[in-house]
Structure 1
Amino acid sequence: MSFDRKKLLSLLPAYLRARDAEQASRLTDLLDAGERVELAALEALGNPTALQRQRRDDLQWKRDQGPLASLLAVLAEQIARFEEDIEQLQDDAFIETCADWVVPYLGDLIGYRSLHGQAPQAADARAEVAHTIAYRRRKGTASVLEQLARDVTGWESVVVEYFQRVITSQYSKHRRRWSHAAPDLRRWRAPRPGTAVEFENIPPDLDGLRRREPLDLIGGGFDAIPRTLDVRRIGSGGRHHIPHVGLFVWPWRALSLSGSPAVAADDRRFRFHPLGIDHPLVTLPRTETDLSSLATPLNVPMGISRRALHERRDDYCGHSLRLYVGISDPLPEVPAAAICACNLSDDGATWANLPAAGTYAVDPVLGRIALPPGLPAGTRVRVDCHHASAADLGGGEYPRTLATPATPPLRVPQDHATLAAALAALGGAGVVEITDSGRYEGDFNIDVAAGQRIEVRAANRCRPTLVLGAETRLTGGADAGITLDGLLIAGHRLRVPDVAGNLLRELWLRDCTLVPGRSLQADGTPVSPDAVSLLVESDGLQLRAERCILGALRVDEASEARLDACILDATAPERVAYAAPDGIAAGGPLGLVACTSVGKLHVREFSLVSNSILWAERATGDAWPASVIADRRQLGCLRFSYVPADARTPRRFRCVPDADGNVPALRFAARRYGSAGYLWLNPATSASVRRGADDEGEMGTYHPVAAPHREANLRLRLDEYLRVGLEAGIFHET
């Protein structure tokens, strides 16, 4: 500020300043009681901050100066605002510093078009306009299209210019040595067209990040094998044509699992997944720092192949996966040099290719680990790895919002080694927090004091696995409540029994997984496909679940359930997903919002079903009159949902199948829990389901992901950045 209050006062004649000071000495200071206390506290500070010093000076000025100085202070404040407004005019010429209201006007100058607000990645218009300015300098290039897809959708992407992958006669003065009519089967990796390794005189081990497996990746974004001309349009199945550009996007991301105990098959054989199933590992994408570079397999969350891990071990070990092997905590990390990639498939009663001494074998395709012989008894294995997920759903190490309890939580394993011990120490009320992604085996029950609440939760960025040996009983006094948050529960069911004194009022499940089928075999099939995950026998219970994966539910008719953004999976559409405790009669009122249900439903009434998928079927000879039954059809609402044609429900509003009886087929990327893309709608699904929600998004659990909106945003941007005459297609890597 060019004119502050002191400078304005100094410009006055000396006799005016002297007279003002004389009047100030005769007047009482203008500070009120609160300002006097604040000034005394600030003057007592030994090392005040800049803001505290400024506040102290303001109060001292107000105390010591006369009426003329006070008037000049008011004038100086207005001058400061005027100067700030002038400076802001200069700042408003740049997108980085302009005011929020200026952003749309700058965007209009460069032809920026706003995107659908449903996609969270498209919410910041300032960043979008700034990116647009940068992208226009490289408009039409493959690197810009890749970055554009990431910014608009939030998904990792790869752009393929198919004219470079068409088999053609080549001009002798412009040879494309990477383009062969037949693939070179002697090289496991092929260079990407247009990159620095496209020439034959480059050593095969140089710049391997830009190379790919030509045979393992056929059909995907990294397929480098040329094809003959395909004259079909890219939207109709054609790809290899001169005007075609393909955008391959990964609609899921790599979720971490940190310090998780590997599950032992014997003293040498282990599995990465805490449920002891074969589960493929995916790459933790590396961030591209240069806008001009093209994506490589290390920049996308794709599965790790055995050959890739063998050839590029240092790129994966220590970044996408780590092994910790030993006896005492903390377990030492296995160096990358001691890890080898192997095919550890079943070989009779054991696994093939068990390693020799000093070598630790990893199969990233099956998610298996084999230790060398000769390790001491009691050797334990912990892992850091990543798996694919399309949404923050069920137990996982994604960020969650945790409330601050009134009293500090009891921590497991710091304060208590087991969950049962921590619950016993609570005394009927409080919070138990598990602070790692460990595996906890054993039994526990929860009993809440009247009017109190017990919360068992995972700490933020943790995903503990609870393997129950027997059912967990949930009981409580009058107006008591229980919350389970961020847990993966397997092995047995949760039960709210109908016993004397059990007046439990609320049961909240947040970001939890109750494994469908209770537990899984090594190949991922459920051990008990007909088993129930949660049994509610008492009346008057309010069951609430948010972002959970649940097995079959049995709820008393006098209790009520509400599920938001959840999966309710009875392991097959012919089995019973929701009913009374006997599995036949009507269960309590049920509400489903943005949920996917697999299995038959029998409810007293549907309070609300919105943006959901009810996938249910009747087997041959089934005694049920319909696959979905609501006893009270004059109550409730079903809207914008997929409901079986034979369902007996209240009146439906814009549901599928429609009034004409057109029944679109449901196409899921995977139908079994534990698989990537679990109950995620395949892009080939009918538009009436994939764009049938109330906001033209997809029905089901993944409705909050807003995948159709992201694709619409990307197509809107492609119209601006594609060169004239080119046609783009969007393909999902699943």
Structure 2
Amino acid sequence: MATDNLFSTRMGKQLYGLLPEVYRTRDSAADDGGGDLACFLDACGHLLDLIRQTLDQRLADAFPDNPSSGEACQPWLLPYFADLLDVRMVSPDDAGRRDEVAHAVAWRQRKGTLKALEQIAENVGRLEVEIQEGWKRVATTPQVGLPRLLAPALGESALHDAFGDHPGWAARHPGLPAVTVDFRYPSRAMQVATDGGAAPQNPAAKQTTFDGQAVWWRQVNRHGAPCFPGSYEDVSRRTPDVRTPTWSRGHAHPKRVLLHAPPPQGFFGPDPYTTVSDLDYSAEGEHLLEDHHVQGTLTVGAGRLTLRRCTVKHLVVTVSSHDDVILAAEETLFDTVSVGAGAASFEGCTVLGATTVFRLTAANCIFNGSIFAAAGGSIRYSRIPAGLDESIEQEAGTTDVANFFSAFFDDPGAGVLRPDAPATILFGAEDGGEMGAYHGGREDRPVRVPIVGTVTMDLSASSGYTLKDLILEGSGSLRVAQGVLTLERVAAFDLQVESISPTDETGMFQPVLAAEDCLFDRLAVSSGLARLVYCTVLNQCQSRCLQASDTIFAAGLDLAPGTDANPHCIRFSRIPEDVDVAYLRTLENTTEPPIFYEFAFDEGDQVVQRRPVFSEAGCATLHPATSEAIRFGAEDGGEMGCYHGWRYSLLMAAVADKLSDFLPVGMEAVIVPDLRLHRLPREACVE
């Protein structure tokens, strides 16, 4: 009898491994009650694991930073560390506050330097910024005899310094405080060629992440005509602007520091995964692959492979090792798996096609296709095909059919369970969660699911499953005919809920739609109660009865007349001006219009700047020009709408507040949204 599946604790398994082989053999070979010794040690391991976790947390509580792995300090301890180091914490999230405490000494030592300002913006506001000093943008009069930096120190050719041999280059010297724009040359950022990824030797080169891609670049033709005025690429000098600084004005002033930051992209930002076609591991050793899309075949010819949060179309392992686990996969989606001569361990995985292994150990998984395990194994709390070989031990499994949005690997959203899937799969994992590749959730990595036509769901038999971290895109409609739909951090183009609200003993409606931190293009709840918290509806919103808090209704709001027993209730939200409905109760709402970011899009052979529509990057993100009644109008002081939990407005305000402590007296920091930081600089010219 295999004993691997009897352990649910790390220390219990470790204790069992320390026993002499003779006792482990007797325990696993017993016919009746086999594995009793393993179960006993696993029970001891529960207490030992708790003690170990307590000690690990106690150690982590001594270090108020953001560790790369392992436990972090508990948030309630941060004010004590801050008081000890005299730190004024302003970040709205725990990770930012940890960084404020952990870097307090280093930032004080570098107070007033550009490096410290850049680190504060990155750690407190999660912003990668390009900084310009305001005094460098102010027109000044050249002075005779004033020392001038040599051109190579500014990243330019030494020919600029040889005026006698090259007099035409004198006006282009980068060290001159020239004011008049030279229209003969364009001024912009340009990529710097690197040798094998190494840092370039040019002292003017900088590295910046543009839309998820790290690129080395430098400014060229500092005295030329700016190609993109107002962006980080504009270094032209101006007359001092004495107006109160905002995101759009008051920048050219010796008392300003400009922080150019890329506008947030929200739900539709870059894919957090790295996509590759094929991969081949042929060297001995431990191989680890995390957060990857493998669109072709992943081949393992030697060593041991661990997969975490990946999607792999075809996995082929040819390593010969019958006893040792040569494949360990966690929260991974496969199309087919072939481990012909080795043992495999799966935890929270989905295999859409066939699974072929020598020996299999699995828990909290979905096997949608056939399973062949030559030496047997064990499967716990998983969906298994009917007629599974008896040599594979089974515990708390189900043969119910998994209902996916798409069961084909190459389709977007493959392996994502629908809310009308069987409850035995939605809540069948060992911890009561869902089985499969998304057992651990999709937070910070939402999955795109295309909706074509009208997709109808009957949730009348649903057991309360919450659909989380999905982007339901496309031009189709998601229709709920019956039952209750619960959403968290979901973006849906067109949602139609036709369910009739049940009532309690007092006659009050119960919600048929409960949404939190969600974005909708169109929403219709024709016969029931919709409860929206931290949501944004871009176009028409229709509801029989509505309860909304901290929500933005950007366009029309069509409400049926309420009743005394079931009135509409809208609080701390943005509503259209023409809303006038019977039995509408409101509190601290505003009619100020939301102003969303505009982004640059390639349309044909032109670049067009416009407001993004649903499914485009940056959709529904609030611009700093939006009224503070919306940007800070939620009940807790944050922004209204679907990005309340992302804290975009609070993070930007926290950076400006924090920088006031690290700038010289009289200096002000201005955060400038810059669309150019989402586009790569021009490639380097061939010299």
Q: Normalized against structure 2, the TM-score is what?
A: 0.54
Query: Which residue is equivalent to 2:473?
Result: 515
**Deviation (angstroms), 1:428:** 2.8
Give the SS at the match of 1:588: strand
Give the SS at the match of 2:120: helix
Query: Which residue is equivalent to 1:714?
Result: 655
**Deviation (angstroms), 1:187:** 5.7
Give the SS at the match of 2:456: strand
- Ranges in structure 1 where 5+ consecutive residues have no aligned partner: 1-36, 48-87, 200-206, 263-321, 332-381, 383-398, 464-484, 519-532, 571-576, 581-586, 618-625, 658-662
Aligned match for 1:668, one of 592, 596, 614: 596
Instruction: Answer whether contact 1:231 1:238 (CA < 8 A) is retained.
Output: yes
Instruction: Answer whether contact 1:510 1:548 (CA < 8 A) is retained.
Output: yes
Aligned match for 1:209, one of 217, 221, 227: 217
Number of residue pairs aligned between Structure 1 and Structure 2: 447
Distance 2:614 2:64 in 1: 53
Cα 1:698–1:104, aligned 2, differ >3 Å: closer, same or farther?
Answer: closer
Superposition pairs for residues 417-496 of structure 1, below 5 Å? Answer: 427-429=399-401, 438-439=410-411, 452-454=424-426, 459=438, 486-496=447-457
Distance 1:212 1:437 in 2: 46
Distance 1:452 1:196 in 2: 61
**Deviation (angstroms), 1:227:** 2.5
Q: Please state if 1:690 is matched with 2:631.
A: yes
**Deviation (angstroms), 1:675:** 2.3
**Deviation (angstroms), 1:698:** 0.7
Query: Which residue is equivalent to 2:570?
Result: 638
Q: Deviations over 1:389-446 (max 9, x none)?
A: xxxxxxxxxx9999xxx99754135659x99979995853558699998435999998
Q: CA RMSD in A?
A: 5.3
Superposition pairs for residues 4-153 of structure 1, below 5 Å? Answer: 44-45=19-20, 107-108=82-83, 111-116=86-91, 118-124=92-98, 127-153=99-125
**Deviation (angstroms), 1:165:** 1.9
Distance 1:507 1:109 in 2: 45
Query: Which residue is equivalent to 1:232?
Result: 243
Q: Please state if 1:534 is matched with 2:478.
A: yes
**Deviation (angstroms), 1:139:** 1.1
Cα 1:728–1:42, aligned 2, differ >3 Å: closer, same or farther?
Answer: closer
Partner amino acid, structure 2, of 1:114? M
Q: Please state if 1:248 is matched with 2:291.
A: no
Q: Normalized against structure 1, the TM-score is what?
A: 0.51
**Deviation (angstroms), 1:506:** 4.7
Instruction: Answer whether contact 1:409 1:431 (CA < 8 A) is retained.
Output: no
Cα 1:324–1:106, aligned 2, differ >3 Å: closer, same or farther?
Answer: closer
Cα 1:601–1:180, aligned 2, differ >3 Å: closer, same or farther?
Answer: same
**Deviation (angstroms), 1:645:** 2.7
Query: Which residue is equivalent to 2:147?
Result: 174
Instruction: Answer whether contact 1:160 1:221 (CA < 8 A) is retained.
Output: yes
Cα 1:400–1:696, aligned 2, differ >3 Å: closer, same or farther?
Answer: farther
Cα 1:550–1:140, aligned 2, differ >3 Å: closer, same or farther?
Answer: same
Q: Deviations over 1:231-277 (max 9, x none)?
A: 32323722111111112223537632657699xxxxxxxxxxxxxxx
Cα 1:710–1:446, aligned 2, differ >3 Å: closer, same or farther?
Answer: closer
Cα 1:733–1:462, aligned 2, differ >3 Å: closer, same or farther?
Answer: farther
Query: Which residue is equivalent to 1:476?
Result: none
Query: Which residue is equivalent to 1:32?
Result: none
Instruction: Answer whether contact 1:155 1:251 (CA < 8 A) is retained.
Output: no
Cα 1:491–1:720, aligned 2, differ >3 Å: closer, same or farther?
Answer: same
Distance 2:74 2:369 in 1: 55
Cα 1:123–1:428, aligned 2, differ >3 Å: closer, same or farther?
Answer: same
Distance 2:640 2:273 in 1: 32
Distance 2:586 2:417 in 1: 43
Q: Please state if 1:654 is matched with 2:587.
A: yes
Aligned match for 2:492, one of 524, 530, 550: 550
Q: Deviations over 1:75-106 (max 9, x none)?
A: xxxxxxxxxxxxx9xx9999999999997566
Query: Which residue is equivalent to 2:524?
Result: 578
Cα 1:130–1:632, aligned 2, differ >3 Å: closer, same or farther?
Answer: same
Identity of aligned residues (%): 24
Distance 1:511 1:239 in 2: 39
Larger proportion of strand: 2
Give the SS at the match of 1:721: coil
Distance 1:720 1:729 in 2: 14
Q: Deviations over 1:509-532 (max 9, x none)?
A: 2212222523xxxxxxxxxxxxxx
Query: Which residue is equivalent to 2:233?
Result: 222
Cα 1:488–1:99, aligned 2, differ >3 Å: closer, same or farther?
Answer: closer
Give the SS at the match of 2:271: strand
